[in-house]
C-alpha cells in the first residue's frame, strides 16, 4: 500500500520550487478556472453528524478553499455513525489513497489542500495511524468514542460491521460458552441478514445474542468485538431491517470483501 501511495503522490525532487500557499492566477479578477488535471489528490470525504459543528465547518471551509485555489475537487460525505462526542475527529477520507486524516481543524483546510492536492505530500501529523489497529484502512472504529466511519457513503453498513466482527472474532480462545457458541451464532445471523434472510425473528435474535456475548463472557473480549455491531444496531437498526425487506443489499452497495460467491471486493 505504501509503495503505491508514494508512486501516486510523486513528491517533487529536492530543490524543486513549491508554492503551497500561492493562489492560482488567471481569469477575471485573478480567479482561475477550476484545476483538475495534475492534482495528486482530487477526492475527499468527510465524516458527518448533525450535532457536530466541527465536521460541518470543515466541509464548508474545504469547499471555500477549493474554490479560492481554483481546484476541481470532489467532496462528499462519508458513511458515519457517531454519537457526537469524538475526540479525534473530524475525519477526512482520501479514497484515492485509502487513508484518513484525523483531527483536521477548519482553519487548516487551505494549507491541507495546497499540501496534499497541489504539492502531493501527505500531512503526516494529521494522518490517522494507529499501530494497534490492523483492520482495513478504509474503515475507522473508535471504540472509546463510539464512532464508526467508512471511507465513502456507498459502503454497506451491515457488511462493514460483519467484516469487523468476523475479523476480530477470529481471535476468540473459545474457552467460555458465550464466545464458543455466540461467535458462530452471530456470524450465521449476520450472514443471513446480508442475504436478506432470517426475518424479524432473526434480527431480534441477533440483538439478543450480541447483548449476551457482550455481558456474559469470562473476559472483556466478547464486549469489545461486539462494540461496532451494537453501535450499528442501536443507531441504524432500520438498515438491517431494509436488508430483510429488500432481500439483501441495495443495488450498488459496496463491500470491503466479497459478500457473496463471485462478488469482487471494492
Domain with residue 199: its CATH number is 1.20.1440.230
Same domain, 59 and 102: yes
Same domain, 163 and 119: no
Looking at residue 47, which CATH number applies to its domain? 3.40.30.10
Same domain, 233 and 195: yes
Q: How far is CA 106 from its chain centroid?
A: 19
Same domain, 192 and 111: no
Angle, helix 199-216 to helix 227-246, in steps of 10 degrees: 170
Q: How far apart are CA 206 and CA 198, in angstroms?
A: 10
Res 167: pLDDT: 92
Same domain, 122 and 182: no
Same domain, 173 and 100: no
Res 6: pLDDT: 47
Query: Is the pTM above the cut of 0.85?
Result: no
Same domain, 80 and 144: yes
Q: Is residue 51 in some structural domain?
A: yes
Q: Is residue 96 in some structural domain?
A: yes
Q: Is residue 214 in some structural domain?
A: yes
Res 256: pLDDT: 84
Q: Which three cell numbers stand for residue 72?
A: 476541481
Same domain, 83 and 183: no
**189: closest CA among 209, 213, 211?**
209
Q: Is residue 20 in some structural domain?
A: no
Q: Is residue 177 in some structural domain?
A: yes
Q: Which residues pair with 99 in a beta bridge?
A: 94
Same domain, 130 and 99: yes
Same domain, 146 and 162: no
Res 85: pLDDT: 74
Q: Which helix (H) or strand (E) holds 208?
A: helix 199-216
Same domain, 132 and 210: no
Q: Is residue 218 in some structural domain?
A: yes
The count of other CB atoms within 10 Å of the CB of residue 192 is: 18
Res 119: pLDDT: 93
Same domain, 197 and 238: yes
Res 156: pLDDT: 96
At residue 71, the 3 state secondary structure works out as strand
Q: Which residues pair with 247 in a beta bridge?
A: none
Q: Are strands 43-46 and 74-77 parallel, antiparallel or unpaired?
A: parallel
Q: Which of 112, 130, 150 is the last residue of a domain?
A: 150
pLDDT digits (tens, 9 = 90+) for 197-226: 999 999 999 999 999 999 998 999 999 999
State which residues form the domain around 221: 157-246
Q: Which three cell numbers stand for residue 85?
A: 462526542
Q: Is residue 60 in some structural domain?
A: yes
**For the stretch 129-164, what's the b/e string if a residue is b when 16 or more beta carbons lie within 10 angstroms of its beta carbon?**
eeeeeeebbbbbbbeeebbbbbbbeebbbbbbbbbb
Q: Is residue 90 in some structural domain?
A: yes
The count of other CB atoms within 10 Å of the CB of residue 44 is: 26
- Our CA dihedral for 28, 30, 36, 39, rounded to 10 degrees, sits at 170
Q: In which residue ranges of the chain is pLDDT below 70?
A: 1-37, 134, 258-266
Q: How far apart are CA 39 and CA 169, in angstroms?
A: 40
Number of structural domains found in the chain: 2
Res 26: pLDDT: 37
Amino acid at each position: 500500500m505504501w509503495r503505491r501511495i508514494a508512486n501516486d503522490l510523486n513528491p517533487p525532487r529536492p530543490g524543486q520550487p513549491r508554492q503551497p500557499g500561492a493562489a492560482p492566477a488567471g481569469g477575471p479578477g485573478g480567479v482561475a478556472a477550476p484545476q483538475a488535471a495534475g492534482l495528486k489528490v482530487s477526492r475527499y470525504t468527510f465524516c458527518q453528524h448533525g450535532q457536530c459543528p466541527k465536521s460541518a465547518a470543515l466541509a464548508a471551509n474545504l469547499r471555500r478553499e477549493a474554490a479560492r485555489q481554483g481546484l476541481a475537487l470532489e467532496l462528499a460525505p462519508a458513511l458515519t455513525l457517531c454519537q457526537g462526542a469524538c475526540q479525534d475527529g473530524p475525519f477526512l477520507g482520501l479514497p484515492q489513497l485509502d487513508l484518513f486524516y484525523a483531527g483536521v481543524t477548519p482553519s487548516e483546510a487551505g494549507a491541507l489542500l495546497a499540501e496534499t492536492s497541489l504539492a502531493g505530500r501527505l500531512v503526516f501529523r494529521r494522518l490517522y495511524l494507529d499501530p494497534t489497529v490492523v483492520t482495513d484502512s478504509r474503515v475507522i472504529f473508535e471504540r472509546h468514542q463510539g464512532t464508526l466511519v467508512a471511507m465513502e457513503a456507498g459502503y454497506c453498513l451491515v457488511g462493514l460491521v460483519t467484516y469487523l466482527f468476523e475479523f476480530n472474532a477470529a481471535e476468540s480462545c473459545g474457552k467460555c460458552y458465550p464466545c464458543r457458541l455466540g461467535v458462530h451464532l452471530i456470524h450465521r445471523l449476520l450472514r443471513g441478514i446480508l442475504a436478506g434472510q432470517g426475518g424479524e425473528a432473526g434480527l431480534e435474535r441477533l440483538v439478543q445474542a450480541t447483548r449476551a456475548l457482550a455481558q456474559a463472557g469470562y473476559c472483556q473480549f466478547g464486549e469489545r468485538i461486539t462494540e461496532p455491531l451494537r453501535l450499528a444496531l442501536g443507531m441504524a437498526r432500520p438498515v438491517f431491517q431494509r436488508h430483510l425487506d429488500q432481500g439483501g443489499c441495495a443495488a450498488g452497495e459496496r463491500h470491503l470483501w466479497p459478500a457473496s460467491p463471485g462478488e469482487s471486493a471494492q
